């Protein structure tokens, strides 16, 4: 057991705000990891957790990942994150009221933290937050003057990361005929699949939602992989685009891929340990905080710096490709795993 003090020290963040929301039986956690480079920014994750400690830890880890994302591309932002831990189902009015109360908390932080969407929230929710927390909200709908979902720039970034990973593993970034296994066909996974297919890749997917499965099997003709077979399936690149923490000693020992590049945050359950295991198995791991930084980078460039969409999409892909190339080169040179190389690259 580690103490709360050790936990907070290891996290290395600046402040942790935990609010009890009695009306919705929920907890709101805002983790401000760093404001060293500039205000903190990060998404709003809304979902059920096993307990409060899990939710708080997730907010802490996710906010730290945001700091790394912005630092990788040297942007003047720091890492922050909101977790809304739901303990029961909410009807639409309750959920709306909860968002307004979350907005008041964000507003109270006076610009230390800017929120965007994440798992469980959408641009429509950002519109609601904006009514109370302007100007500290990113990724509103285009109808209200925002640049919409962050999933699109995220997907372009993951696409560039898969290409860079293939280039390193196979000596070519050509995706024709490459077998890419996507875990999670949510907003990012589905958009990514279309980008990959347009380059001739063969798409395999795993997905929990039955309707989504049907759509991608019947309408798009992708190959379905069951949840049980996920880690045992032969593929060139495995792209985790769902929840974090899926890579541990047991899943890593089963993997039959050459590289990993996906959008999910915090894929390794113990980064230092599991990055080493992947290296030993000869699987090239593209560090998740680099692969997935396109959302945060893209939205802040569009909304805070007013950069046009096409330019942003090009810049996101270029930045992620270059960062990964630098990280892979460093890992080779220093004979270390890619996560270690990524930390050194960011420094
Ligand atoms: N949720 C996105 C992530 O995890 C990021 C995001 C941040 C989106 C800021 C919009 C604005 O990186």
**Distance between Cα 282 and ligand 1 center (Å):** 31
Sign of the CA dihedral with 200 first, then 204, 209, and 212 last: positive
Residues 52-75 have pLDDT tens digits of 999 999 999 999 999 999 999 999
> Which of helix, strand or coil describes residue 315?
helix
Residues 292-332 have pLDDT tens digits of 999 999 999 999 999 999 999 999 999 999 999 999 999 99
Amino acid 1: pLDDT: 75
**Distance between Cα 308 and ligand 1 center (Å):** 18
Rounded distance between C-alpha atoms, residue 250 and residue 231, angstroms: 9
Pair 303, 147: CB distance under 8 Å:
yes
Nearest-CA residue for ligand 1 atom 6 is 296
Q: Whats the size of the chain, residue-wise?
A: 347
Q: Which of 59, 150, 297 to mutate to test the pocket of ligand 1 (most atoms within 8 A of CB)?
A: 150
What are the two backbone dihedrals, phi and then psi, of residue 265, each rounded to the nearest 5 degrees?
-80, 145
Q: Is the CB of 39 under 6 A from ligand 1?
A: no
Rounded distance between C-alpha atoms, residue 98 and residue 82, angstroms: 13
Residues 262-300 have pLDDT tens digits of 999 999 999 999 999 999 999 999 999 999 999 999 999
Rounded distance between C-alpha atoms, residue 237 and residue 211, angstroms: 25
- pLDDT above 90: percentage of residues in the chain: 98
Question: What are the helix (H) ranges across 81-144?
Answer: 92-108, 123-133
Rounded distance between C-alpha atoms, residue 110 and residue 307, angstroms: 25
Whether 5-144 and 151-346 share one fold: the answer is yes
Q: What angle do CA 81, 83, 89 make, to 5 degrees?
A: 155
Amino acid 2: pLDDT: 83
CATH T-level topology, domain 5-144: Rossmann fold (3.40.50)
Residues 115-132 have pLDDT tens digits of 999 999 999 999 999 999
Q: Is the CB of 299 under 6 A from ligand 1?
A: yes
Read off the pLDDT band of 28 (50, 70, 90). Answer: very high
Rounded distance between C-alpha atoms, residue 192 and residue 317, angstroms: 13
Average pLDDT for residues 82-107, to the nearest whole number? 98
Mean pLDDT score across all residues of the chain: 97
From residue 132, give the alpha-carbon distance in Å to each of 18, 97, 117, 120, 127. Answer: 19, 11, 16, 20, 9
Residues 135-151 have pLDDT tens digits of 999 999 999 999 999 99
Q: Which two tokens stand for residue 320?
A: 């992620």
Nearest-CA residue for ligand 1 atom 4 is 43
Q: Which two tokens stand for residue 15?
A: 């402040």
Average pLDDT for residues 244-254, to the nearest whole number? 97
Q: Is the CB of 317 under 6 A from ligand 1?
A: no
Nearest-CA residue for ligand 1 atom 2 is 43
Domain spans in the chain, listed from the N-terminal domain onward: 5-144, 151-346
Question: What are the helix (H) ranges across 215-248?
Answer: none
Q: What angle do CA 259, 263, 269 make, to 5 degrees?
A: 75
Homologous superfamily (CATH) for 151-346: NAD(P)-binding Rossmann-like Domain (3.40.50.720)
> Which of helix, strand or coil describes residue 114?
strand
Rounded distance between C-alpha atoms, residue 77 and residue 57, angstroms: 22
Rounded distance between C-alpha atoms, residue 98 and residue 288, angstroms: 30
Amino acid 347: pLDDT: 87
Q: Is the CB of 295 under 6 A from ligand 1?
A: yes
End-to-end CA separation in angstroms for the chain = 30
Rounded distance between C-alpha atoms, residue 92 and residue 184, angstroms: 25
Single out the residue of 49, 46, 59, 43 nearest to residue 7, CA to CA. 59
């Amino acid at each position: 057991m580690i103490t709360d003090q050790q936990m907070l020290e290891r996290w290395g963040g600046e402040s942790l705000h935990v609010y009890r929301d009695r009306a919705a039986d929920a907890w709101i956690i805002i983790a401000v990891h760093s404001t060293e480079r500039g205000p903190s920014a990060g998404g709003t994750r809304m979902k059920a957790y096993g307990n409060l400690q899990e939710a708080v830890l997730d907010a802490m880890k996710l906010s730290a990942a945001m700091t790394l994302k912005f630092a990788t591309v040297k942007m003047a932002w720091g890492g922050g994150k909101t977790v809304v831990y739901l303990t029961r189902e909410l009807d639409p009015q309750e959920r709306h009221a909860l968002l307004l109360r979350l907005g008041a908390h964000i507003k109270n932080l006076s610009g230390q933290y800017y929120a965007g969407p994440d798992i469980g929230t959408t641009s429509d929710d950002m519109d609601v937050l904006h009514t109370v927390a302007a100007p500290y909200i990113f990724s509103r709908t285009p109808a209200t003057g925002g640049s919409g979902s962050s999933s699109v720039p995220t997907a372009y970034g993951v696409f560039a990361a898969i290409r860079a990973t293939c280039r390193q593993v196979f000596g070519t970034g050509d995706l024709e005929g490459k077998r890419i296994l996507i875990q999670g066909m949510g907003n990012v996974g589905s958009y990514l699949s279309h980008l990959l297919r347009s380059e001739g890749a063969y798409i395999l997917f795993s997905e929990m939602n039955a309707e989504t499965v049907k759509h991608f099997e019947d309408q798009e003709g992708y190959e379905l992989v069951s949840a049980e077979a996920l880690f045992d399936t032969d593929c060139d690149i495995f792209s985790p685009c769902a929840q974090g923490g899926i890579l541990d000693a047991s899943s890593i020992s089963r993997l039959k891929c050459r590289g990993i590049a996906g959008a999910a945050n915090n894929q390794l359950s113990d980064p230092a340990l599991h990055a080493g295991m992947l290296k030993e198995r000869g699987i090239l791991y593209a560090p998740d905080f680099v692969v997935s930084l396109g959302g945060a980078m893209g939205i802040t460039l569009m909304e805070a710096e007013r950069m046009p969409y096409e330019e942003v999409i090009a810049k996101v892909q270029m930045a992620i490709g270059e960062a990964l190339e630098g990280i892979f080169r460093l890992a080779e040179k220093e004979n270390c795993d890619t996560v270690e190389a990524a930390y050194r690259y960011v420094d």
